[in-house]
Amino acid sequence: MNLPPRRLTSQLDVTISQPADIVFSVAVAATYTPAEEVLTMHLDGQPIDFHEISTNSGTRLHRVSKLPAGKLRVSYSALVDSPSLGMVEGEDQEIIYGRPSRYCDSDRLGQVAWTHFHQVPRADLVQAIRNWVNQKISYTPGSSRVVDGALETYLSRKGVCRDMAHLVITFCRAMNIPARLVSVYAPGLKPMDFHAVAEVYFDGGWHLVDATGLAPRQTMVRIATGRDASDTAFMTTMSGLTTLDRMSVTAIVEGDLPTDDAVVPVSLG
Amino acid sequence: MNLPPRRLTSQLDVTISQPADIVFSVAVAATYTPAEEVLTMHLDGQPIDFHEISTNSGTRLHRVSKLPAGKLRVSYSALVDSPSLGMVEGEDQEIIYGRPSRYCDSDRLGQVAWTHFHQVPRADLVQAIRNWVNQKISYTPGSSRVVDGALETYLSRKGVCRDMAHLVITFCRAMNIPARLVSVYAPGLKPMDFHAVAEVYFDGGWHLVDATGLAPRQTMVRIATGRDASDTAFMTTMSGLTTLDRMSVTAIVEGDLPTDDAVVPVSLG
Amino acid sequence: MNLPPRRLTSQLDVTISQPADIVFSVAVAATYTPAEEVLTMHLDGQPIDFHEISTNSGTRLHRVSKLPAGKLRVSYSALVDSPSLGMVEGEDQEIIYGRPSRYCDSDRLGQVAWTHFHQVPRADLVQAIRNWVNQKISYTPGSSRVVDGALETYLSRKGVCRDMAHLVITFCRAMNIPARLVSVYAPGLKPMDFHAVAEVYFDGGWHLVDATGLAPRQTMVRIATGRDASDTAFMTTMSGLTTLDRMSVTAIVEGDLPTDDAVVPVSLG
Amino acid sequence: MNLPPRRLTSQLDVTISQPADIVFSVAVAATYTPAEEVLTMHLDGQPIDFHEISTNSGTRLHRVSKLPAGKLRVSYSALVDSPSLGMVEGEDQEIIYGRPSRYCDSDRLGQVAWTHFHQVPRADLVQAIRNWVNQKISYTPGSSRVVDGALETYLSRKGVCRDMAHLVITFCRAMNIPARLVSVYAPGLKPMDFHAVAEVYFDGGWHLVDATGLAPRQTMVRIATGRDASDTAFMTTMSGLTTLDRMSVTAIVEGDLPTDDAVVPVSLG
């Protein structure tokens, strides 16, 4: 597929109240080779150093340590005009992403998944799970808490993109289908923000499943990949005391957004 | 340290009721070079093929696929007479093992950890956590369920080695100390079984913390390493229907068992 | 209906380690007029005083206060040969027993109940709920904990009489049908013990629903009535330290046990 | 004590979308004899009939049944100028309000309560519990959900009046002190709303405990009394489909508000 160039930016304003050690996850994954890419951090207006940490999942983390109190601004921009290389995936990935995780408690929801989906033919399972979550879970900003897992979403029938992705992942794992969470830049998302979608393994590859249907999958750009939201937070305070004051995200494609037909498998380009 | 040779065996008898795909995690970690090592699998008395999957955490998984119904026996034996090489650890390991996980819900128990430990000097924190779990959690076989996480253990004050290790890990992470779970062969453990202990990062290295005090840490031999018990199960049925009928584990050192002083840091040898 | 006489006994042996205040609920409800009834308590072999507390639900509680350390034996026997008078029920009962309670968290399980039962005609609802619990929940001694509520039973699909009754009650309430828990003497139960069943309000009266099917409902004899097991414990230590050492229960009808057809409504006689 | 007259009003606007059966709990408890009291209900502007249901707890419920779709307005006003008669309390009340309940899961939080309060002398226990909740739980509108119980409040350290009262009650019960929830009109509360406080049994009587400190206890007027918020909802839809569109509450004393010293026991007047 011929993907249009995607121009991405994010900016975080953070107040450091006590000397802090922070990890950011806002840059596109290591599988891309952006035509342009700039990441800067400033403390009280002065540029500061940070360093990049590579991970086995292709997620690029950027860490600042021993930051004194002050106002931190993190600015990222990238132009992605070529498709992603495939992720390097060992056979263990298929096993690891089948396990229950913090917010995808597939072990507790095993019987529930079975009840809903055991009569669905294997080939239709992922689509059936996507549709169930799309239809039964009401997308409701403010309805969930960061400690909530898939069980809460299942019981309350409410959540945001993260919760809906967690439930998709949980049902997939409970039905023995490996699945994981991906944070993305998502052109077309309204209101614009970081987005979270499920990535599910079938037919020999990983495919995006977005039960929210809020943005076309084809033009999403991968940031972090992991078991669930515990692995994909855009900001993690390792020590110290911080407050996120403001955040802005943009993701734009040149030309028209593609049309996304939810029944067609899409892999991250 | 001069470690005595350790002779390890495990044997699992499994009934396959419906064609199954199973992953075993009973072999010592990839960081060892055992003087002798034999792993065999037999189905209804006939030897069968399996293959090994390496993982980033050094855990060696052994997988059998499309196994027809029958009686499966898995037999493992090893003689470990040299110390383990260090694990290859990226800086991301320290970050990843600081995150909440399925059975170590450090995000929910953050305030609880703070209440118990915020007055403890940093240098004494791991020991204080170990002692708290050792003294407050009653080692009680049969008291916990496989879906239980650290919150349940904290509330009920009961559990087995796995639960006590999960609570140690959870408290550590809540206090910003990376921690993970290790399944081990543990000479001296009574009754003999697979054992689970916490491994905690401080002073630039990973150290074993065993709140049960049931076996000396020095002579333990690492099997699997992961975020919690979701990563270290000795047997995972990926598909099909299986029943574990019988399991036996042995772990013997030549000569006397070392004495383990709980206040001295020990790394896995 | 002509009910056969029922002969009931229970005996509890309790060690008092620290001076205690205990409430027992082993006597038949206030709606019966037993032909014979004896309740005695002995501490270290000497008879001791206790007093009876009446409750609005017809449950008779027997309380001993300021009991010194020692061995307490509670012995109860009764011969019930006439049917129960109806309970005195205000309109508020129907409202109160529609509310969520400690172990019947019908508010959390509302969507789940709706999923399973919204297509069932109103007249068949209670029977459908009874059958679902009977078929899907595996009666498994030792599988549940005293702090477990209906959500745990729903997820694990395992439990004992108390858990199955809690789930029946929870589903009923979630479908706007008042329901409560009754502890009973149950002739025919094997192994003999105190039994717990749901009592559900429909067609203008309260009817027994026993998803375990372990004993005929007609000859059960009511002990305590309440929202859930928090109201029907046979022994509650209000203060002090006690251990239940031994308990025996018998419940015998003269002649044959009646046959219980689960589809026929039965009220407690 | 000489209490000033209190003038109370509440008004609820409810849309009935499907024929409904609703119970309201907005009138002062049966222990008062208001100088003036008016309760009216109008559907689409026309007065409609309702009836009052008395309960053993003194709570007065007002029920409308088979209400067709339309706009319902419930208006209540009362002038309370004489003190409340005491509640009629059997000895069973002390027992019943010692039990765990839906949102006061004192059985799960038993060890936690013990940890925090076992060293506090009995006479100071209620005050210590009140202070702990007052200091550790941040009053945060919007932070909790209606299905949350005391465990959630304990873990998140956030909540509203209902949550703080639930935690006070739970800790009291766990320390063997009977406690219950009371909904009240609370002159001086800002912003004005229905309020919820704990009522705790000690020194032979029931006393108000309000960990929020948001209004003086002396001039509060009791509405409903129960185990927790499951018993005190101001509106319960028994069947049908309803939406609460608007609610307003006022509670005014003539003259100055009394000063409330949190360390002095206060009973509801």
Q: Which of D109, D151, D157 is opposite residue B111, by nearest beta carbon?
A: D157
Q: Determine how many CB atoms are found less than 10 A away from the CB of residue A169.
A: 30
In the block, tokens 């500061």 appear at A48
Three-class SS state of A239: strand
Which residues lie below 8 Å from residue A189, measured CB to CB, with a gap of 6+? A195, A214, A215, A251
Closest CA relative to residue D216, chosen from D167, D180, D166, D266? D266
Which residues lie below 8 Å from residue B1, measured CB to CB, with a gap of 6+? B83, B218, B269
List residues in chain C touching B: CB distance below 8 A.
Answer: 142, 145, 147, 156
Model ipTM?
A: 0.95
- Give the chain D residue whose CA is nearest to the CA of C21: D176
Q: How close C108 comes to chain A (CA, Å)?
A: 6
Three-class SS state of B259: coil
- Contact predicate B176/B202, CB 8 Å: no
Query: What is d(CA D106, CA D154) in angstroms, rounded to the nearest whole number?
Result: 12
Span A63-92, average pLDDT: 92
Which residues lie below 8 Å from residue C59, measured CB to CB, with a gap of 6+? C25, C29, C30, C223, C224, C225, C226, C231, C232
Task: Judge whether residue C88 has pLDDT over 80.
Answer: no
Q: Determine how many CB atoms are found less than 10 A away from the CB of residue D252.
A: 16
Q: Determine how many CB atoms are found less than 10 A away from the CB of residue C142.
A: 8
Which chain C residues are Cβ-neighbours of B147 within 8 angstroms?
A: 156
**Residue D262: what pLDDT?**
83
When scoring C105, C109, C115, C132 by the number of chain A Cβ atoms within 10 A, the one with the most, hence best to mutate, is C115
List residues in chain B touching A: CB distance below 8 A.
Answer: 23, 53-56, 61, 63, 90-92, 95-96, 98-102, 105, 107-108, 146-147, 176, 230-231, 236, 238-239
In which element (H, E) is residue B111 found? helix B110-117
CA distances (Å), origin A210, targets A185, A218, C73: 13, 11, 64
Query: What is d(CA A148, CA A170) in angstroms, rounded to the nearest whole number?
Result: 13
pLDDT by residue (tens digit) across C164-174?
A: 999 999 999 99
List residues in chain A touching D: CB distance below 8 A.
Answer: 142, 145, 147, 156
Which chain C residues are Cβ-neighbours of A111 within 8 angstroms?
A: 155-157
Q: Note whether C95 contacts D23, CB cutoff 8 Å.
A: yes
**Residue A89: what pLDDT?**
79
Q: Which of A23, A56, A108 is opposite residue B56, by nearest beta carbon?
A: A56
Question: Comparing A260 with B1, which gets the higher pLDDT?
Answer: A260
Task: Judge whether residue C1 has pLDDT over 60.
Answer: no
Q: Tell me the one-letter amino acid at D91.
A: E
Span C133-159, average pLDDT: 97
Beta-bridge mates of residue A198: A181, A209
Q: How close D59 comes to chain A (CA, Å)?
A: 30
**Residue D2: what pLDDT?**
74
Span A141-166, average pLDDT: 97
Q: Note whether D147 contacts C107, CB cutoff 8 Å.
A: yes
**Residue B87: what pLDDT?**
76
When scoring C155, C157, C158 by the number of chain A Cβ atoms within 10 A, the one with the most, hence best to mutate, is C155
Lowest mean per-residue pLDDT among B81-95, B129-143, C17-31, C98-112? B81-95
- Give the chain C residue whose CA is nearest to the CA of A111: C155
Rg (CA), chain A: 18
Predicted confidence band at D83 (pLDDT cuts at 50, 70, 90)?
confident
Q: How close C158 comes to chain B (CA, Å)?
A: 12
Query: What is d(CA D87, CA D84) in angstroms, rounded to the nearest whole number?
Result: 8
Q: Note whether C238 contacts D176, CB cutoff 8 Å.
A: yes
Query: What is d(CA A5, CA A185) in angstroms, rounded to the nearest whole number?
Result: 13
Total count of residues recorded for chain C: 269
Does A191 sit behind a cis peptide bond, omega within 30 degrees of 0 on the bond before it?
Answer: yes
- Contact predicate B39/B62, CB 8 Å: yes
- The per-residue DSSP string of chain C comes to --PPPEEEEEEEEEEEEEEEEEEE--SPPTT---SEEEEEEEETTEE---EEEE-TTS-EEEEEEEEPSEEEEEEEEEEE-SPPPPP---HHHHHHTTS-BTTB-TTTTHHHHHHHHTTS-GGGHHHHHHHHHHHHSEE-TTS--TT--HHHHHHH-EE-HHHHHHHHHHHHHHTT--EEEEEEE-TT-SS---EEEEEEEETTEEEEE-TT--S-STT-EEEEEESSGGGT-SEEEEEEEEEEEEEEEEEEESSPPPP--TTS-B---
Which chain D residues are Cβ-neighbours of A156 within 8 angstroms?
A: 145, 147
**Residue C234: what pLDDT?**
98
Predicted confidence band at C242 (pLDDT cuts at 50, 70, 90)?
very high
- Contact predicate A105/B102, CB 8 Å: yes
Predicted confidence band at C6 (pLDDT cuts at 50, 70, 90)?
very high
Q: Determine how many CB atoms are found less than 10 A away from the CB of residue D31.
A: 15
- Give the chain A residue whose CA is nearest to the CA of D147: A156
Residue A178 exposed, middle or buried by CB count within 10 Å (0-12, 13-18, 19+): buried
Task: Give the torsion sign (CA, A66, A71, A77, A83).
Answer: positive
Angle at D233 between CA D227 and CA D234, to 5 degrees: 140
Beta-bridge mates of residue D53: D61
Per-residue pLDDT of chain B (269 residues; tens, 9 = 90+): 578 999 999 999 999 999 999 999 999 999 999 999 999 999 999 999 999 999 999 999 999 999 999 999 999 999 999 888 877 778 899 999 999 999 999 999 999 999 999 999 999 999 999 999 999 999 999 999 999 999 999 999 999 999 999 999 999 999 999 999 999 999 999 999 999 999 999 999 999 999 999 999 999 999 999 999 999 999 999 999 999 999 999 999 988 999 998 888 899 86
Q: What is the pTM of this model?
A: 0.95
Task: Judge whether residue A213 has pLDDT over 70.
Answer: yes
Closest CA relative to residue A99, chosen from A18, A172, A36? A172
pLDDT by residue (tens digit) across A119-153?
A: 999 999 999 999 999 999 999 999 999 999 999 99
Query: What is d(CA A253, CA D68) in angstroms, rounded to the nearest whole number?
Result: 52
pLDDT by residue (tens digit) across D177-203?
A: 999 999 999 999 999 999 999 999 999
Which chain A residues are Cβ-neighbours of D142 within 8 angstroms?
A: 142
Query: What is d(CA D178, CA D98) in angstroms, rounded to the nearest whole number?
Result: 4
Span D163-174, average pLDDT: 98
Q: Which of A111, A155, A157 is opposite residue C157, by nearest beta carbon?
A: A111
In which element (H, E) is residue B165 found? helix B161-174
Three-class SS state of D202: strand
- Contact predicate B3/B219, CB 8 Å: yes
Closest CA relative to residue A28, chosen from A167, A225, A228? A225
Tell me the Ramachandran region of residue B176: left when phi exceeds 0, alpha when psi lies from -120 to 50, beta otherwise. Answer: left
Chains contacting C (3 or more CB pairs within 8 Å): A, B, D
Closest CA relative to residue C199, chosen from C190, C191, C208? C208
Q: How close B101 comes to chain C (CA, Å)?
A: 20
Span C119-142, average pLDDT: 97
Q: Determine how many CB atoms are found less than 10 A away from the CB of residue B112.
A: 22
C-alpha atoms less than 13 angstroms from C-alpha of D63 in its C-beta half-sphere: 17
pLDDT by residue (tens digit) across C191-221?
A: 999 999 999 999 999 999 999 999 999 999 9
Query: What is d(CA D156, CA D147) in angstroms, rounded to the nearest whole number?
Result: 14
Q: Determine how many CB atoms are found less than 10 A away from the CB of residue D72.
A: 23
Encoded tokens for D107: 């059985």
Predicted confidence band at D51 (pLDDT cuts at 50, 70, 90)?
very high
**Residue A1: what pLDDT?**
54
Q: Note whether C99 contacts D102, CB cutoff 8 Å.
A: yes
Q: How close C147 comes to chain B (CA, Å)?
A: 9
- Contact predicate B59/B7, CB 8 Å: no
Q: Supply the mean pLDDT for chain C.
A: 95
Query: What is d(CA C57, CA C55) in angstroms, rounded to the nearest whole number?
Result: 5
Determine the angle formed by the axes of helices B110-117 and B161-174, rounding to 10 degrees: 80
List residues in chain B touching D: CB distance below 8 A.
Answer: 108-109, 111-112, 151, 155-157
Three-class SS state of B121: coil
Q: How close D106 comes to chain C (CA, Å)?
A: 10
Which chain A residues are Cβ-neighbours of D152 within 8 angstroms?
A: none
Which chain D residues are Cβ-neighbours of B106 within 8 angstroms?
A: none
Q: A105-117 burial by CB neighbour count: b if 16+ within 10 A, else e? A: bbbbbbebbeebb
- Contact predicate C216/D85, CB 8 Å: no
Query: What is d(CA D155, CA B212) in angstroms, rounded to the nearest whole number?
Result: 26
**Residue C255: what pLDDT?**
86
Percent of chain A with pLDDT over 90: 90
**Residue B200: what pLDDT?**
97
Query: What is d(CA D263, CA D261) in angstroms, rounded to the nearest whole number?
Result: 6
Q: How close D193 comes to chain B (CA, Å)?
A: 30
Q: Note whether A101 contacts B53, CB cutoff 8 Å.
A: no
**Residue C2: what pLDDT?**
73
Query: What is d(CA C20, CA C235) in angstroms, rounded to the nearest whole number?
Result: 12
Closest CA relative to residue C155, chosen from A105, A176, B231? A105
Chains contacting A (3 or more CB pairs within 8 Å): B, C, D
Question: Comparing B91 with D35, which gets the higher pLDDT?
Answer: D35
Three-class SS state of D82: coil
Which chain B residues are Cβ-neighbours of A90 within 8 angstroms?
A: 53-56
Beta-bridge mates of residue C20: C67
**Residue D1: what pLDDT?**
54
